[in-house]
Structures are given as structure tokens and as C-alpha cells.
Amino acid sequence: MLSMDARDLIDDLAEVLVVPSFTRLGFGLRRHLYGWPEAESYPMAGRTVVLTGPTSGLGRAAAGSFARMGANLVLVGRDAGRLERTRADLLAETPGVEATTVVADMASLASVRSAAAEILDRLPRLDVIVDNAGTMLPTREVSPEGFERTFATTVLGPFVLVARLLPRLVASPDARLVAVTSGGMYTQSLPLDDLGYERGDYNGALAYARAKRAQVALVREWARRLRGAGVVANAMHPGWADTPGLEASLPGFAKVVGSQLRSAAEGVDTMLWLAAAPDARSSTGRLFLDRRARPFDRVPGTRLSATARATLWDSVVQLTSEPDPTSEP
């Protein structure tokens, strides 16, 4: 039997090498090393989960798992038809599941505000928000309010949603915020003076990576600012998972990694753990892969200082025209 130190050493070595860590090999290695209980073994009966991007890929896998764990689900997506089909499928798979659909385009701040008002009106309790929606675009597009769409979908819209739902979330005895990021964010710095990617030739993959780095920085700010309010806020990345989004956005990468891509179920394991496991409440403001906290930075020059993260927070507050949700009244 390996000691915990030996297991951690093996895990850390895989993490440093990246390729085995992010593939299904890394997931299988860690599950074997640590003997995890199945993520769906953590009960969520009576708890309400708001999940964005629930109709395909990681979001759809998570929705099915949360339903089987007994959670009440609020499915937030921009396509009403796909939301209703997802809800019907969940009811067929898990009879009796409580699933509410709310239409929102996360790139549209007006749409997000309307969705938040609907959620507050319909749901008396809120325990977990999972920020999962994302987009990668081949050309630069703008949101209805004129923001670069990837940044609006990944950063501005989720900020407004959490800000508007925060009073209900804080009232939960076990409040959690989980942001689903991407390992690609490790490769990019975040130019605070060009959050809308207005300078230089637009690159969809870089815009996505920048937005994900901003997302993780804001999770750290949410955690710091809400520490006294009892809200646990963490980010996770799923590794390299086989999803329709990956195939559509990065077909060459998906082909190269091939059979070593993780399944969607493997990709969402840590998301479920962060949302439900009692021991996941012991850390806040961290980035997780496979149920262990990982470094925020890998490439020199990409690190955001505490001052830079606070500046980003202030910029997002200004761009969204939201009152600072963590300011004292």
C-alpha cells in the first residue's frame, strides 16, 4: 500500500508532464491511487443546482449525474427547444427529478438579468451555481451590448448571473460556486487593457483561453470577497474531454489525442465532487483537476497578481453596470 505522500508524488509527476495528466490516463491513475468514491454517491436531495450550458457535452453529462444524485435542477441555456428536450430526457432517465428550464443567452446581459429574475421568482432555494456555458468562435463577434462575444459569454454574463442570484445563494447552509474552465487558459496572459480583443488579429482559441483565465481570476475574487459569507467558490478544468464542442472547435487536436480523450463523465467528475462532497468545502478560491488543487499558472508571464485580479473585478463591474455584489451596503 502506497503512502499518501507517495501517491501525491506520482500524481504531481503526472501533472507536471501535462499529457498523461489531462488525458483519460490521468483520470484512471488518480482514481486508482486515491480510491475515490463515485461522484454520484454524494447525495444532493433537497439541494438546488443552477447549471448553465446543460444541453450537450459536459453540461449534459453533469445534468444527468445531478439528477441521479437527487438534486433539483435549474437548466439555463439559450435554446428553448433543446432545453425542453434535455428536461424530457432527464425525466425519462430519472423519473421524479425536479428540473426547471430557464432561457438565457449568457452573452446578453439583458437576457441574463431576465433569467436571474425568473430563477429568483420560481425557486425559493439555491445551493449551487455551476458556470459551465462557453463558446469558441472562429471570427470576432459582438454581443447585443457590444462586447466581444466569447468574453461576454464566459465572463460578463456569468458575473451578472452570480451577482443577481447571490442573496439567495448566501442563504444556503452549503453554498457553492463552481466554474468550469479549460487547461488552455494556462497558455495565455490576460491583457487588462484589451479585454474585448480589439487589438491585433482575432484568434478564437486565444480569445477563449484569455476569457477562461479571466474566469478563474474572478473565481479567486469571489472566494476572497465571500469568505465571510460562507460561500465556497472554486474552478475546475475537466482535462481533455471528448465533447461536441471540442470536435467542432479544435478538430485537429481531437484527432491527435484520439482515444485518450476523457469521456464526458470523466470530465465532469471533479465538478460533481466540488458541488456535492463534504470534503470539497475545505478549500475555496482554488483550481482543481481530478479532485486535487492545482497551480493557477504554468507559463512565465501569465500570472495575474492580486492587484491585477482586483483591477479585473472592478473592470467587470464597470462593464456590466452591476453594483458591486460584494460591497457593504
Q: What residues act catalytically?
A: 208
Give the number of C-alpha atoms closer than 13 A to the C-alpha of residue 285, restricted to the C-beta side.
12
3-state secondary structure of 236: strand
Give yes or no for a contact between 122 and 115, defined as CB atoms under 8 angstroms apart: no
Bridge pairing between strands 287-289 and 292-294? antiparallel
- The C-alpha cell at 38 is 463515485
| 42 backbone dihedrals φ, ψ, rounded to 5° | -85, 120
How far apart, in Å, are the Cα atoms of 294 and each of 58, 92, 186, 211, 253?
20, 37, 11, 19, 23
- Grid coordinates of 273: 465532487
Ramachandran assignment for 312, one of left (phi > 0), alpha (psi -120 to 50 degrees), beta (any other): alpha
Q: At what angle do helices 157-170 and 109-122 cross, to 10 degrees?
A: 20
